Structure 1
Amino acid sequence: MIDKQRRARRAALRTLYAIDVSGYESGQALESIRATLAEPDDHPARYWDLVVHRVTAVIDNLSKIDEEITVLSPRWRIGRMAAVDRNLLRLGISELLEGETAPLVVINACVELAKEFGDKGTPGFINGLLDQLCQNRNITIAAEE
């Protein structure tokens, strides 16, 4: 299950990135990304619904999500952010606001993707802003001990 979620987030990030930097429509980007996933050890049919759900959730709420980013990062405009950072934030914020996955899981997953696809400072940037969103929205990240 975790592998399925990880693969879905990775594919969703790649799709959002493609939409952002190439101007592809979401359907075109999803189709393009899915074609690249057809490798012997990867079976996108197992997790493709999760990819489509995540991408659609971000696209359908993009202005609301970008407003959240603006609040979280007032000194660093969205347009100046690296495309990977911007789309990781969009993906993470969408999942956090949806509330279907534990916040700690979402944040950790986004930080791991940041390590894989971002620059040296990306993991800390993503972690800090997603943590701040949780504080602003009174979203409990982890159960108190």
Structure 2
Amino acid sequence: MQPRRIARELALLSLSQLPSSPEKLETQQLSNMVLAAVRTLTTEVQDTLTTAAAELQRASDRLLSSETRASDLRTSRSMVDESIQLTQSAINRIGTALELPELIQLANQPEFDVRTYALQVVRAVNIHRPEIDEQLNAALVDWQVSRLARIDRDLLRIAVAEILYLGVPDRVAINEAVELAKRYSGDDGHRFINGVLRRISEQTQAAYPKS
């Protein structure tokens, strides 16, 4: 995995856990950021497993209270399938948490500092959040940034920050966000992320056409 991609992933996972103050942000060591990322993943695992357990309980309750009608059996099977998918998602998150420190160690080569770029991304999101959210709200159709799932909201903010403030080409920022969405968002999350960011890219190019 490319070092810059790992830095972007680290920024995504640690963004909600790191201080927003630029001064405090600068004092964060790589180990602090990894810990923040693992905490984010741990919280997601706990929440996902809780949801999966509740879905299994609902399926069990429906079976126990039903008269074994075909519709009840289909509904219960759907609930069990959903809980299995949620559990698999939680297992994948655990795997990511275990892999992250090793990936960062491998990527932290002398020519590229993972910590530095991850902090640049987090700093850009924090400093320019009002402008970033304004861009996102303009691109969202009948929706608002504040109503998005946290992972989708942070993915979009990071991609826009890279495009507008870190000089990353639109195509690269969009592709990287889509790849991260495939790892961390819902089933159709990557398509949603792709659509929103492409609208932002079109709006930006229309507002600031290249000479």
TM-score, scaled relative to structure 2: 0.56
Task: Give 2:162's aligned residue.
Answer: 95
Task: Give 2:3's aligned residue.
Answer: 4
Amino acid at match of 1:123: H
Alpha-carbon separation, structure 1, partners of 2:152 and 2:123:
19
Task: Give 2:115's aligned residue.
Answer: 48
- Percent identity over the alignment is 30
Alpha-carbon separation, structure 2, partners of 1:133 and 1:29:
33
TM-score, scaled relative to structure 1: 0.80
Q: Which region of structure 1 is more displaced relative to structure 2, 56-65 or 70-79? A: 70-79
Q: Residue deviations 1:18-67, cap 9 Å, x none?
A: 24xxxx5243797643345543x432753110001000000000111111
Question: What are structure 2's unaligned runs of at least 5 residues?
Answer: 39-99, 207-211
Higher helix share: 2
Question: Residue 50 of structure 1 aligns to a residue in which SS?
Answer: helix
Amino acid at match of 1:25: P
Alpha-carbon separation, structure 2, partners of 1:51 and 1:92:
13
What RMSD in Å do the two structures reach over aligned CA positions? 2.3
Question: What are structure 1's unaligned runs of at least 5 residues?
Answer: 140-145
Alpha-carbon separation, structure 1, partners of 2:126 and 2:144:
19
Task: Give 2:34's aligned residue.
Answer: 34
Task: Give 2:188's aligned residue.
Answer: 121
Alpha-carbon separation, structure 1, partners of 2:199 and 2:29:
30
Alpha-carbon separation, structure 2, partners of 1:65 and 1:29:
26
Alpha-carbon separation, structure 2, partners of 1:50 and 1:100:
12
